[in-house]
Each structure stands twice: as structure tokens, then as C-alpha cells.
């Protein structure tokens, strides 16, 4: 048993922050939280207590949509909308991952930076290359971080050197699944079925991936209703579908197993109902949606309708791997919606975005993202001394950290109870 003492802040529900000044969290050797206390638990030996003084202790971040092979393009090439952006900037970079040495070199940097940013769990797109994607999964294992790693299926409407086949993807997924069953760090790193999006996959591939999801129970991740031109294209490609979401649903890729759908800027009506009925997760990516001029997802409506919403950085359409920036953008774009609706659509609060970045996304990994009893202890120790010059309250300190802080303020990182030191490759 370990007991940590610090200024504890977390969001067990979207509407409220739980704040315990100089509180205690007891963590079992299994990494599971035993309890959280205002005072030192009775019969505790002081020698068991690790005291972080006046620092903040918050749940670690969970990034539910991020493209590892686009790391090199981060902060670049944001002058186009989605479809020309993919062809001009993204596909040429992803094609380089045919070379496992290049993948090893770049993925090391990517995983290292995720560690730096305090993102202890992620749902990640690799590329269409089986070996490079296995390399990415192994790096997460070595770093001790949790991740769902996706071998991308894509066999149409992309350059010839960036297309695989249904057989190749099924074989690659099976290999990755067997590999991670044995070497996935007790289930911390797992595979996820990843059709890039409807325009990249033939009906044959989509059907095969849906069947594979049904057979294995593996979760699914993809993109949905991000951009108007994309939605029109999907309607042409899948004329029998009643909406974009229905195109996935017909192939068993829409909530038949746990499913993440990034963006959903234009999700409404039947698609929204289908997401609700099937329990499909929205991954809100406000940096990306701003950078590619895609739109502003109706997050307040999703939340009011009881749809599950999580948060992603979506690099490199998002320009920053920090979930702090994702939270900040989520609040800011919700305020633009508020202004456009003349105040009819309430903007997101601080507790809501912390909830999205921690507990809401953590649910995809099990009991992760909160400090309640029974949760896995994923946590960050934040030293915000330089931001706390005027005796702010703990809630104000959290707010300033989200708006003004960065990775340099993170002093310790824990994933499933284990302190993760800097990955050295
Ligand atoms: Zn994406």
C-alpha cells in the first residue's frame, strides 16, 4: 500500500470538481485506489506517506483520438480542408512508415512526448503497415503507458503506395492481437480495429472488419461527419445508407463493440439517435476542427442527449499533443457556439472539460480517470508554484494550469499505480 498526500482535484461528475486540500489517496500494490481521505487514515504509518506538499494531484489525461505517424507534421500544413489536406500532406508522410526504421525513430519521439504531456492512456491510429504498428505498440509497452493501437485499414481512394488489402489487415490484426495478449503489459496495450474512414475502405473491407469485431469483441475507432465535402462523398459512396453513421452500422462497426468516432461536427437527427442507441462515443477534437475549418461539434447537445463524449488532440490536424490545449479549445469553441446561438447553448465549464479529458475517456479503458475507490491510479503531480503568485484557490490554480501551464509543470506521472519515469530508448 502507498499513500499519497497532496492538493487533490478530480471530476467524478461533469458538473462538479472534487477538491481536497492536503488530502490522502491510498493505492494498493495492484495499482487500484483503496480510498481517498480528508485526514490521514487511522493506523497509517507516516513512513507509508509520500508527501507532495502544496503540489496539485490530478488524474492523468486520456487522449481518445490521435495519429502517431502525423507527429512530424504537427504545427504545419494547416492551410487546407480535410480531403485535400489528407492528399497533400498526410498521406505522403504516412507512406514513409513502410520503413520500420523510420517508424521506430519517429514513434519513439511520439510516445516520449505523450509521456511528457501526461497522457497516460490513448487511442492511437498507426498506419496501414503491420510491422510499424507493432513497433508502436511495443513502445507503449516499454514506456508503461496504456494504449489502444490501431492498424489502419485503407484500400481505396488513396495513393497506390498507401493501400493495403482486407487479407493483410485481418492477418496484421490477428498478429497484433496474439502479440499483445502475451506482451501487452497485462492488458495495458491492446489492438483496436481501425478502418480509416468510409471513403478509404471498400464495402468488402468494412464487412470483414465488422465481422472481425463481432468475432473478437475488439473495439473500433474511426472518423465521422467531420467535414461537409466528406459527408457528401460518403453519401455518394454508400447510397443505401441513410446517414454517414448508418454506413458504419451496416457493417457492424458502430457500437456493436465499444466504438470511438472522432469529430461528429455535423451529427444530428438519425445519426445522433443511432449513436445514442448504440452507445457510440463521440471524440471531440476542437483543435483539429478549428485548424481544418471543419466546424464546431454540438457538444452541449450530445451531453444533453446522454451521448458519451470524450476528448482528443487529433494531431496533426490538431497542432498540439497536450490535452491542456484540447481542454482549452473545447471551452473556447463552445463559447463561439454560445455566441452564435445568442446564449441559447451553454458553453462548457472547467469541471466539464476536466471530466472529458480524464474520466469520460478513461471509461474506454475500464475504471480509469477518477480518484474514486476501485479506480486504477493514473495521476499527475503538478508543480504550479510560478503560476500561484497571488494565493489563488485550488480551483483557480487548476484553471490557471489548464490555460497557462504545460508539460514542464508535471513532476510525477503514474499509470495503473506505477510511477513512469522518462522513457529512454
Ligand atoms: Zn483523425
pLDDT at 389: 87
24, part of any domain: yes
Centre of ligand 1 to C-alpha 14, Å, is 25
415, part of any domain: yes
Centre of ligand 1 to C-alpha 66, Å, is 6
pLDDT at 43: 81
pLDDT at 44: 80
Half-sphere exposure of 242 (CA within 13 A, CB side): 10
Helices (H), 184-292: 203-216, 228-237, 244-250, 269-278, 286-291
Centre of ligand 1 to C-alpha 359, Å, is 21
Residues 53 and 89 in one domain: no
Residues 305 and 232 in one domain: yes
* 3 state SS for 304-347: HCCCCEEECCCECCECCCCHHHHHHHHHHHHHHHHHHCCCCCCC
Domain boundary among 334, 365, 396: 365
Write the DSSP symbol of residue 377.
-
pLDDT at 295: 98
Residues 284 and 326 in one domain: yes
97, part of any domain: yes
Centre of ligand 1 to C-alpha 263, Å, is 8
In total, the chain counts a number of residues equal to: 425
425, part of any domain: no
Mean pLDDT (the chain, rounded): 97
**Residues 328-376: pLDDT tens digits?**
999 999 999 999 999 999 999 999 999 999 999 999 999 999 999 999 9
| 224/370 Cα distance (integer angstroms) | 28
Centre of ligand 1 to C-alpha 294, Å, is 12
pLDDT at 159: 96
What's the angle, vertex CA 191, arms to CA 186 and CA 193, rounded to 5? 155
CA 416 to each of CA 129, 165, 361: distance values in angstroms, whole numbers, following the listed order: 30, 36, 15
Domain total for the chain? 2
Residues 334 and 264 in one domain: yes
pTM summary value: 0.98
Per-residue buried b or exposed e for 201-224, using 16+ beta carbons within 10 Å of the residue's own CB: bbeebbbbbbebbeeeebbbbbbb
Centre of ligand 1 to C-alpha 120, Å, is 19
Centre of ligand 1 to C-alpha 69, Å, is 11
Residues 256 and 210 in one domain: yes
Q: Are 322 and 291 in contact (CB under 8 A)?
A: no
Residues 351 and 373 in one domain: no
Residues 171 and 239 in one domain: yes
Burial class (CB in 10 A: 0-12, 13-18, 19+), 369: buried
Residues 38 and 84 in one domain: no
Unique residue bearing C-alpha cell 489548464: 402
Centre of ligand 1 to C-alpha 315, Å, is 8
138, part of any domain: yes
| 266/271 Cα distance (integer angstroms) | 9
Residues 95 and 223 in one domain: yes
Query: Nearest-CA neighbor of 315 among 146, 115, 118, 110?
Result: 110
Half-sphere exposure of 178 (CA within 13 A, CB side): 5
Domain boundary among 365, 380, 406: 365
Domain span at residue 35 reads 2-60+369-419
| 357/349 Cα distance (integer angstroms) | 13
Residues 342 and 194 in one domain: yes
pLDDT at 55: 98
Q: Are 224 and 289 in contact (CB under 8 A)?
A: no
Centre of ligand 1 to C-alpha 414, Å, is 27
Centre of ligand 1 to C-alpha 224, Å, is 9
Centre of ligand 1 to C-alpha 226, Å, is 9
pLDDT at 47: 83
- For residue 133, the surrounding DSSP H or E stretch is helix 130-143
424, part of any domain: no
Domain CATH code at residue 328 = 3.20.20.140
Q: Which residues of the chain have pLDDT under 50?
A: none
pLDDT at 171: 98
Centre of ligand 1 to C-alpha 9, Å, is 30
Centre of ligand 1 to C-alpha 57, Å, is 30
Domain CATH code at residue 8 = 2.30.40.10
**Residues 153-167: pLDDT tens digits?**
999 999 999 999 999
pLDDT at 92: 97
Centre of ligand 1 to C-alpha 85, Å, is 12
Centre of ligand 1 to C-alpha 149, Å, is 13
Centre of ligand 1 to C-alpha 123, Å, is 11
Amino acid at each position: 500500500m502507498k499513500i499519497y498526500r497532496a492538493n487533490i482535484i478530480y471530476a467524478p461528475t461533469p458538473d462538479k470538481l472534487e477538491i481536497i486540500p492536503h488530502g490522502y489517496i491510498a493505492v494498493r500494490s495492484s495499482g487500484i485506489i483503496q480510498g481517498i481521505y480528508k485526514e490521514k487514515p487511522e493506523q497509517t504509518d507516516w513512513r507509508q506517506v509520500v508527501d507532495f506538499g502544496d503540489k496539485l494531484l490530478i488524474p492523468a489525461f486520456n487522449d481518445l483520438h490521435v495519429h502517431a505517424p502525423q507527429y512530424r507534421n504537427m504545427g504545419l500544413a494547416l492551410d487546407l480542408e480535410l480531403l485535400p489536406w489528407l492528399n497533400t500532406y498526410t498521406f505522403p508522410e504516412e507512406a514513409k512508415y513502410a520503413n520500420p526504421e523510420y517508424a521506430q525513430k519517429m514513434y519513439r519521439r511520439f510516445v516520449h512526448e505523450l509521456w511528457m504531456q501526461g497522457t497516460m492512456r490513448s487511442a492511437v491510429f498507426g498506419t496501414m503497415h503491420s510491422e510499424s504498428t507493432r513497433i508502436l505498440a511495443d513502445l507503449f509497452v516499454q514506456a508503461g503507458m496504456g494504449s489502444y493501437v490501431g492498424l489502419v485499414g485503407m484500400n481505396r481512394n488513396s495513393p497506390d503506395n498507401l493501400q493495403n488489402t482486407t487479407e493483410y489487415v485481418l492477418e496484421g490484426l490477428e498478429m497484433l492481437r496474439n502479440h499483445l495478449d502475451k506482451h501487452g503489459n497485462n492488458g495495458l496495450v491492446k489492438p483496436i480495429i481501425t478502418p480509416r474512414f468510409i471513403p478509404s475502405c471498400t464495402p468488402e473491407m468494412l464487412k470483414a472488419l465488422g465481422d472481425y469485431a463481432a468475432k473478437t469483441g475488439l473495439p473500433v475507432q474511426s472518423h465521422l461527419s467531420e467535414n461537409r465535402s466528406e459527408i457528401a462523398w460518403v453519401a455518394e459512396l454508400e447510397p443505401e445508407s441513410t446517414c454517414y453513421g448508418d454506413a458504419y452500422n451496416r457493417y457492424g462497426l458502430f457500437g456493436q463493440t465499444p466504438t470511438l468516432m472522432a469529430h461528429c461536427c455535423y451529427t444530428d437527427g438519425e445519426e445522433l439517435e443511432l449513436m445514442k442507441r448504440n452507445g457510440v462515443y463521440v471524440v471531440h477534437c476542437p483543435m483539429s476542427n478549428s485548424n481544418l475549418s471543419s466546424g464546431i461539434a454540438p457538444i452541449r447537445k450530445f451531453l444533453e442527449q446522454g451521448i458519451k463524449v470524450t476528448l482528443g488532440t487529433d494531431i496533426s490536424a490538431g497542432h498540439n499533443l497536450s490535452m491542456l490545449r484540447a481542454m482549452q479549445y473545447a471551452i473556447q469553441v463552445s463559447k463561439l457556439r454560445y455566441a452564435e446561438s445568442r446564449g441559447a447553448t451553454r458553453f462548457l465549464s472547467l469541471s466539464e472539460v476536466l471530466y472529458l479529458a480524464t474520466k469520460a475517456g478513461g471509461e474506454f479503458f475500464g475504471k480509469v480517470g477518477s480518484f474514486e475507490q476501485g479506480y486504477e491510479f493514473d495521476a499527475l503531480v503538478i508543480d504550479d508554484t510560478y503560476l500561484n503568485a497571488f494565493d489563488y484557490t485550488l480551483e483557480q490554480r487548476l484553471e490557471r494550469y489548464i490555460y497557462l501551464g504545460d508539460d514542464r509543470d508535471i513532476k510525477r506521472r503514474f499509470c495503473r499505480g506505477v510511477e513512469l519515469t522518462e522513457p529512454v530508448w
